[in-house]
Amino acid sequence: MSIYNPPSLQHLAVQSLLLNEASTISTLEYLPPHLFPPVFKEAFTGRHMQLLKAMVAAWPFSYLPVGALMETPNVELLQAVLGGVDILQAQKVRPRRWKLRVLDLRNMTQDFWDVWPSRKNLYCSTETESQEQVSSKLRRDVKVVTDLSLRFHLKEHQTCLLQWAQERKVCVLLCCVKMEFCDFPGEIIKEILDIFPPDNIEKMELSTNHVLPLLGHIASHFGHMTELRECHLTHIFLNRDMAVNTLAVTEISVVFSKFGVTHLRFLLENTADTLQTLELVNCKMEDSELSALLPALSQCSQLTTVNFCDKDFSSAVLKKLLQSVANLSNLTVEFYPPPLECYDPLEVFAQLCPELLDIPLAKRQPKTNSLCYRHLP
């Protein structure tokens, strides 16, 4: 015996609004706020582009997490959403119910769209709204938040977003929290960094086969990344005989020049209060380059993870490195290379490395800590 579950009144109302798209657009001002999320979600799924654009502009809450709905990037949907922001920004006098302040394009794992009733912070209070109206002429109204993961070339939806952002960076506050670049030309990375305010970037991952030229292009931005918490710099070798998107990581005789270390020191000095993860992988350094970084490194009080593997340091410089990080009480994961003296004769490893490890351990309070050297071949 089958059980009939009739559709809810809300579901019927949403379907009716979608069937009469033109009428719905003209009456959005009178649509109850609690119907906006379900109607928007159905319009997004059904590709009702004009309705989407109008609903973004008329959004009655301060926050709109569009990225949570866009599992697969779609240029037309993105254009509709951004078009709604354009409509909103074009209004000299914003209607009272149009309250969008943050458009979030990040692909969040949590499904925000199932918990709308409990998100009271999405509603703007009368007091807040009054304050925003007073200051609206003094600042950009809408903040657009995104992450960027660029590998080898720009995809169509990324090109769409970047072109839109570049043309509107004066009137829209753009925020990129996480940036990933893999085998991307340094001059293009610089152009992208020019679009987004550097003080909003919290995580930067750079994978390149041209370390020094890349650092030269973007060095001027490092000093302004005041909120940077993670920095990953990896030297890669792109195997052209393999599939286009396949990377083979290898060790190349890549030596940091004074030019490259100057940029890294500049970065460390200006992110000392926020940087939490520092990984320099397959980027060969010598004693002199490491020594130049130590004063800045010792000031990075928020570091929790450091990785200096695949470097060739003497025991004397490694001792200075460990003394520099010994007072960084937040460090919990640390990777260091064996000193050069351990390679010949090999038995020196068993004697010298424990002595070096005792330097930071002796200064820190007992706690869970993963501190190790790379295994010798």
**Which H or E element spans position 161?**
helix 156-168
Q: pTM (2 decimals)?
A: 0.67
Q: Would you state the pLDDT for residue 362? A: 66
Confidence of residue 369 (pLDDT cuts 50, 70, 90): low
Q: Would you state the pLDDT for residue 140? A: 59
Count CB atoms within 10 A of the CB of residue 181. Answer: 23
CA 12, distance to chain mean position in Å, is: 40
Starting at the earlier edge strand, list the strands of the sheet with 203-208: 63-64, 102-104, 143-151, 173-182, 203-208, 230-235, 277-281, 305-307, 333-336, 370-373
Angle between helix 287-297 and helix 315-325 axes, rounded to 10 deg: 10
Residue 159 CA: distances (Å) to CA of 165, 277, 358: 10, 30, 51
Phi, psi of 88 (to 5 degrees): -60, -45
Q: Would you state the pLDDT for residue 343? A: 58
Count CB atoms within 10 A of the CB of residue 72. Answer: 7
Burial of 188 (0-12, 13-18, 19+ CB in 10 A): middle
End-to-end, the C-alpha distance of the chain in Å comes to 70
Closest CA to 297 of 308, 286, 311: 308
Q: Would you state the pLDDT for residue 353? A: 66
Count CB atoms within 10 A of the CB of residue 56. Answer: 24
Comparing 79-88, 111-120, 331-340, the range with the smallest average pLDDT is 111-120
**What are the counts of helices (DSSP H) followed by strands (DSSP E) for the chain?**
13, 10
Q: Would you state the pLDDT for residue 338? A: 78
Which 8-state DSSP code applies to residue 232?
A: E
Instruction: Assess whether pLDDT exceeds 70 at residue 218.
Output: yes
Question: Cα–Cα distance between 55 and 60 in angstroms, integer?
Answer: 9
Q: Which residues contact 232 (CB under 8 A, 6 or more apart)?
A: 204, 205, 206, 207, 277, 279, 281
Comparing 12-26, 180-194, 340-354, 363-377, the range with the smallest average pLDDT is 363-377
Q: Would you state the pLDDT for residue 160? A: 93
26-47: average pLDDT: 89
Q: Would you state the pLDDT for residue 153? A: 84
Peptide bond into 366 cis (omega under 30): no
99-106: average pLDDT: 92
Q: Decide the pairing of beta strands 277-281 and 333-336.
A: unpaired
131-154: average pLDDT: 68
Question: How does pLDDT run across 224-244, given as a tens digit for each residue?
Answer: 787 888 878 776 654 444 333
Q: Which residues contact 315 (CB under 8 A, 6 or more apart)?
A: 339, 340, 341, 352, 356
Q: By percentage, how much of the chain surpasses pLDDT 90?
A: 17
Which residues are paired to 150 by β-bridges?
Answer: 181
CA 318, distance to chain mean position in Å, is: 32
Question: How does pLDDT run across 244-267, given as a tens digit for each residue?
Answer: 333 333 222 734 555 567 777 887
Question: Cα–Cα distance between 40 and 48 in angstroms, integer?
Answer: 9
Q: Would you state the pLDDT for residue 144? A: 93
